[in-house]
Each structure stands twice: as structure tokens, then as C-alpha cells.
Amino acid sequence: MIDKILDSPAAALAEVPDGATILIGGFGNAGMPSALLDALIAQGARNLTVVNNNAGNADAGLAALIAAKRVSKILCSFPRQTDSWHFDKAWRAGELELELVPQGTLAERLRAAGAGVGAFYTPTAFGTRLAEGKETRHINGRDYVLEYPIHGDYALIKADRADRWGNLAYRKTARNFGPIMAAAAKCTVAQVRQIVALGAIDPEHVVTPGIFVQRVVKVPALEGAA
Amino acid sequence: MKKLGRNQIAARVARDIPEGAYVNLGIGLPTLVANHIPGDREVILHSENGVLGIGPRPAPGREDEDLIDAGKSPVTLLAGGSYFHHADSFGMIRGGHIDICVLGAFQVAANGDIANWHTGEADAIPAVGGAMDLAAGAKQVFVTMEHLTKKGESKIVERCSYPLTGVGCVTRVYTDLAVIDIKADGLHLVEICAEGLSFEELQKLNGVALKYKAAV
């Protein structure tokens, strides 16, 4: 019997090695897998490459991982926030490398990884300093920049409901990076509010099919709050 | 001369957003545009984080942490609205499905280049978000900004000195002084908005040459 449900975030993340690339879902608090981030902090893996839209807020989650000097590189679109002080300090001290990626290019690079696309041309950032040094190409009257996929060793995402096959349904804008990160990682761990029986998620409403999900952990809503 | 305030600029932009348009509003002044779209005009607002059909701000106490816009502010969803993941959301932008995006800017050049993400200072922490995708992908890129810097220099320039967000993409600029179209042959004044400002005075402040064909 297939059963992807594990007892705890700690059990789901026990084998994360040093140097792993971790895709972290969420945009603001919506979709942020806070319980998985807490477990990753406790787990101790170091020298991590992290992919998230931002670079941590206040003192919890990704910000705490950066404060603990566990992140050596971050790929994101918008690190600068009013409460990104841990990232700001580490970046200014040269303790972590930043690869700034336009938000849509970040999303498409993740999608490309999950879809087996080797690289793609995008018009975004052509003629700007974020395209410096990259291959470009003129196609049908427009200029494009070549971008490569972003593969993850782990994806940590948050969904609303899951079944034991790993099928996921999300809630509102908490969906954000979840589906594309799930497909882009070798091991996707989903933190969910509720686990339901097979078939209870209408097949028409499964957003991430279980083929993209390896582990599921139930985290009741209150525990999931940052 | 009486310059337009932020809400007056937003109201002027709203006049140009037609029924049925799919529109993305940037953070800051562009967000105010939503407040000025007449209630009987159906305009569908998109946000990068994965939502179409954004409604008014929720009443205090009615916020939902899972329903936010790209500025991470709580929003509501209209009947007919929808949610989707980030790659689809930016596919809508990059794929040319968004009719109009409204962005703020540090500078706009006469050839339609826009600079709005980086001051160019070496120690400034960079952050770009979806600005480059919107600049490159929306069918029309409207910019709202004050016409002059605090030092009185025009933000409409021959060539941007700040790092670019996108090249040749801005179609119309709304400032506290005027509305200006950017076309292949340069800048065209649509209208002067500041009360008591003459074309000659505006031309002097703007720096870059303006074409103007008065309505007959």
C-alpha cells in the first residue's frame, strides 16, 4: 500500500544532507511551510542553497535559517523587505551569495526543471543588468535571454489537503510556488492542514498530482502559524 | 501652478482603463487606481502571486492570511475570480495576456525604457520582484510618477541613468504635471494636468522635446 504520510516534519527531513538545494514555497505568509522550516532548522544541515521568492522575514522560518548561518546561497526575486534584517546583515557581511532572479523567470526556471526542459528563451530582463553575460537571441523580431532550470533536492511546500498518495489541493493564493516547486524537486515534502481519504479530493480539483509529492506531514492550522 | 496629488494621478489613470481590461497594478500609487474605477465598469485585476478578479480590501477583522496580493496586503476575491500557480501567473504576463500594467518608476526614457528597481548604489540591496516580467510582457505599460525629482530634474529623460527594468516598453506616462504618450517618433503630450502650467513651461521642465497637436 502506498502511504506517503509521515508522523512529523522531523521524520520527513531527517536525511537532508549538507549542501542540498532546498526549494521553499510561500509568498508572504501564504503557503509558507513554517513547521517544515522549523524542522529544517532543528535538523542541522548546513551550506544550503535556498530558493524562495523572498529572503526571510522577521526572525522566524527562512530568516532564522539565515541567522543560524546555514544558508550559503539564495536565489530569489525580492530579498529587500522592511523586516529582512537577517538577510541584509549576512549579505552585507559577504556570508551568503545572492542570485537575483526576476519573479516570472524564477517561476519558469522551476517549471522548466519539473517539465524536463533544458533551457528556454524569455524576453524578461533583456537589456538589463540581470541579463549581463547571458546568451541572447533575436527571434521573430524580439530579443530573448537564455535561462536554465532550477532543480531542487528537496521542496518544502504547504498545501491545504492531501491524501496518502500525495495528491494536493491548495487554499487561495497560498498555492503560489507549490505546484511548480513540487515538480522541480527530487523529494517534495508537503505540510498540509488536513489528510483525507483517497478520492475525497475531487479528481477534477487535484492541483498537484501525487506523482510530484514524496512525503506528506499533517500540521494542524494553529501549529502551522508562524 | 497646481500639481496633481497622488489620488488625482490615480483617478486620471483610471479614466483610461476600459471595460473588460485585464489589469495589473503595481505597489504604491498604482494600487490606488483601483479605487477610482467606476463601479459600473468591469475591470479584472490580476496579481502576480496568482489571482485574477481582486475585489475591495477586506473589512477589519475579515482578513484571510491565504488571500493576499503581490504587495502582501489582504484582499478579497470577486465572484468569477480564480487562483493559479506562479508559472501560470507569469505566463499570463509574459504571454501578452495582460492588457495594461501600471508601474511606478525612477525614470522613463523617450524611447520607452524604464528604470524602477535599483538606484544603482553599490551597497543597495537589490530587489526586482515581477517588475521586469511586467515591463516585458504587458500589452501596454503605463507609468505613474512625479514628473520632477526633489532637485527639480525631469524623471522623463533622453536616456535612463539608473539600471533598466525594461527596454522600449512604456507606452504612456502619467505624472503630477501631464499625460505623455511614448511612440516610435518620441514623446507626445496628451494633456497638461497641472493647473496653470503652459506648454512652454512644461517643455522647459521636461527637458526632452514634446510633440503636441492641439485638438481641433
| Residue-wise pLDDT tens digits, A102-139 | 999 999 999 999 999 999 999 999 999 999 999 999 99
CA distance A210 to chain B (A): 17
> What was the pLDDT predicted at A208?
98
| Distance of alpha carbon B131 from alpha carbon A77, whole angstroms | 10
Residue B113 binned pLDDT confidence (cut-offs 50, 70, 90): very high
| B-chain residues near A172 (CB < 8 A) | 51, 64, 66-67, 77, 83
Query: Which site among B65, B72, B82, B123 would you substitute to test the A interface, given the most A Cβ atoms closer than 10 Å to its Cβ?
Result: B65
Any chain A CB within 8 A of the CB of B176?
A: no
Please answer whether residues A160 and A194 qualify as being in contact, where contact means their C-beta atoms are separated by less than 8 angstroms.
yes
What is the chain A residue with the closest CA to B117? A78
> What was the pLDDT predicted at B214?
66
Residue where the block lists cell 537532508: A16
Q: pTM score > 0.90 for this model?
A: yes
Is residue B1 in a domain?
A: no
| Distance of alpha carbon A125 from alpha carbon B164, whole angstroms | 9
Q: Quickly count: other Cβ atoms within 10 Å of residue B63's Cβ.
A: 14
What does B98-126 look like in DSSP terms, one character per residue? Answer: -SEEEEE-SEEETTS-EE-S----TTSPP
Residue A226 confidence (pLDDT) above 50: no
Is the model more confident about B116 or about A221?
B116
- % of chain B with per-residue pLDDT over 70: 99
Average pLDDT of B92-111? 98
- Write a three-state SS string for A176-203: CCHHHHHHHEEEEEEEEEEECCCCCCCH
Is the model more confident about B120 or about A24?
A24
Average pLDDT of A217-222? 86
* Domain extent at residue B87: 6-211
Is residue B27 in a domain?
A: yes
Average pLDDT, chain A: 96
- Cβ-nearest to A171 among B66, B123, B127: B66
Inter-chain CB proximity A78 and B89 less than 8 Å = no
Average pLDDT of B102-108? 98
Inter-chain CB proximity A127 and B67 less than 8 Å = no
> What was the pLDDT predicted at A195?
98
| Distance of alpha carbon A105 from alpha carbon A134, whole angstroms | 13
Mark which residues 8-67 of A lie under 8 Å from B by CB: 27-31
CA angle at residue B39 from B81 to B44, to 5 degrees? 30
CA distance A127 to chain B (A): 6
Please answer whether residues A39 and A13 qualify as being in contact, where contact means their C-beta atoms are separated by less than 8 angstroms.
yes
Sign of CA dihedral A206, A154, A185, B81: positive
Inter-chain CB proximity B133 and A105 less than 8 Å = yes
Q: Give chain B's length.
A: 216
Any chain A CB within 8 A of the CB of B72?
A: yes
Residue A224 confidence (pLDDT) above 70: no
Pairing of the two strands B186-192 and B178-183: antiparallel
| Distance of alpha carbon A190 from alpha carbon B159, whole angstroms | 48
Average pLDDT, chain B: 96
Residue B215 binned pLDDT confidence (cut-offs 50, 70, 90): low
Angle between helices A103-115 and B86-94 (to 10 degrees): 120
> What was the pLDDT predicted at A221?
75
Average pLDDT of A179-205? 98
Q: What is the domain partition of chain A in residue ranges? A: 5-119+148-220
> What was the pLDDT predicted at B154?
98
Average pLDDT of B22-42? 96
Inter-chain CB proximity A175 and B127 less than 8 Å = no
> What was the pLDDT predicted at B123?
84
Mark which residues 81-100 of A lie under 8 Å from B by CB: 84, 87-88, 91-92, 98, 100
Any chain A CB within 8 A of the CB of B159?
A: no
Average pLDDT of A26-52? 97
Domain A5-119+148-220 class? alpha beta
Please answer whether residues A70 and A45 qualify as being in contact, where contact means their C-beta atoms are separated by less than 8 angstroms.
yes
- Cβ-nearest to B85 among A91, A172, A178: A178
Active site residues of B: 48
Residue B216 confidence (pLDDT) above 80: no
What CATH number should be reported for the domain holding residue B120? 3.40.1080.10
Any chain B CB within 8 A of the CB of A222?
A: no
Write the pLDDT tens digit of every residue in B150-190: 999 999 999 999 999 999 999 999 999 999 999 999 999 99
| Distance of alpha carbon B20 from alpha carbon A152, whole angstroms | 40
The domain total for chain B is 1
